[in-house]
Amino acid sequence: MTTRLIDLKHLQKKFGQQTVLADVSLHVDAGQILGLIGPSGAGKSTAIKIALGMEVADGGDALVLATHMPNRPLLGRIGYMAQDDSLYDALTGAENLRFFGRMKGVKKDALAADIAHVADVVDLTPALAKRVSGYSGGMRRRLSLAIALLGDPELLVLDEPTVGIDPALRRKIWHELHQLRDAGRGVLITTHVMDEAELTDEVALLLDGKVMAYDAPAKLEALYQVKTIEEVFLKAEGVA
């Protein structure tokens, strides 16, 4: 049996009167990519925040790497990339990587090699010495992803990682994600791009704080008798 990296059971979360998560159960195994799709405000980011321990669920249980969240030391084994770029503009790309590497607790003698590796993955090596304030939108996104990859984490949590990235680079990033998966890492990814959902191993469709559909992309398409995940999405939402 494979290791279960993320195991969210019947999560419930309310902000004031508003119910954001009604009943959400998700799991990510080692060597698996789980895509989380759903309209804005469906609760994708909240589910991620609970998995990281930024928020605490009102009900249910969040197990990550066999540990109940929130748990601080565990965060060093997770790579997280937020929706916004979250970079220090006054610092260079290399300085950003070095800083977050240290915060994650990457060993000092391994840090330089690690930075060189992740910069290569996102194709940023030539721009590392430049200040982030001079980066283009795509470069910022790539640097942000590189930071998430630092320290070779067992689990990656990526919130909309491919927004604003051109197709060639997007393909490269997915190639890298598939390689990570094949190396036994787990990936939880949210996305708005429906054809990206086809590249995942399993898709969870989140709507109004509930999981509406949860299976492999091909199986979902068969179940809804449609050709693409986009159509599944529209059908589940009741638009088409």
Partner 1 sequence: MRALYIARRVVTELIRDKRTLALMFVAPVLIMFLMKLIFTQSASTSVKVATVDLNNNVRTTLNDIKHVAVSKKASNASAQQALRDQKVDAVIHETSASHYTITYANTDATKTSLVKAGFNAALTQNGMKTLKQTTVKLSRTVSQMAATIARLSPQAAAAMKQPKAKAQPRAKIKSRYNYGDKNTDFFDKIVPILMGFFVFFFVFLISGMALLKERTTGTLDRLLATPVRRGEIVLGYMISYGILALIQTVIIVLTTVGFMGVEITGSLGAVMVINFLLALVALAFGILLSTLAQSEFQMMQFIPIIVIPQIFFSGIVSLDSLASWVKDISYVLPLTYAGNAMTQIIMDGTKLTSLGVDIGVLLLFLLVLTGLNVRGMRRYRKV
Q: Which among 102-110, 114-122, 191-199, 209-217 is the span making contact with partner 1, rule CB under 8 A?
A: 102-110
Cβ pair 70, 76 in contact under 8 A? no
Residues 6+ apart with CB under 8 A from 195: 228, 229, 230
Position among 22, 30, 82, 112 found at the interface with partner 1 (CB under 8 A): 82
Position among 53, 93, 161, 186 found at the interface with partner 1 (CB under 8 A): 53
Q: Which among 6-14, 15-23, 99-107, 201-209 is the span making contact with partner 1, rule CB under 8 A?
A: 99-107
Check residue 103 for interaction with partner 1 (CB under 8 A).
yes
Minimum distance from CB of 76 to partner 1 (Å)? 4
Alpha helices (H) in the chain, listed in sequence order: 44-52, 93-104, 108-121, 137-149, 167-182, 194-197, 217-224, 229-237
Check residue 55 for interaction with partner 1 (CB under 8 A).
yes
The residues that bridge with 35 in the sheet, in sequence order, are 189, 203
Q: Give the CA-trace dihedral at 162, 42, 31, 149, to 10 degrees.
A: 40
Q: Which residues contact partner 1 (rule: CB under 8 A)? A: 52-56, 70-76, 78, 80, 82-91, 95, 99-100, 102-105, 131, 147
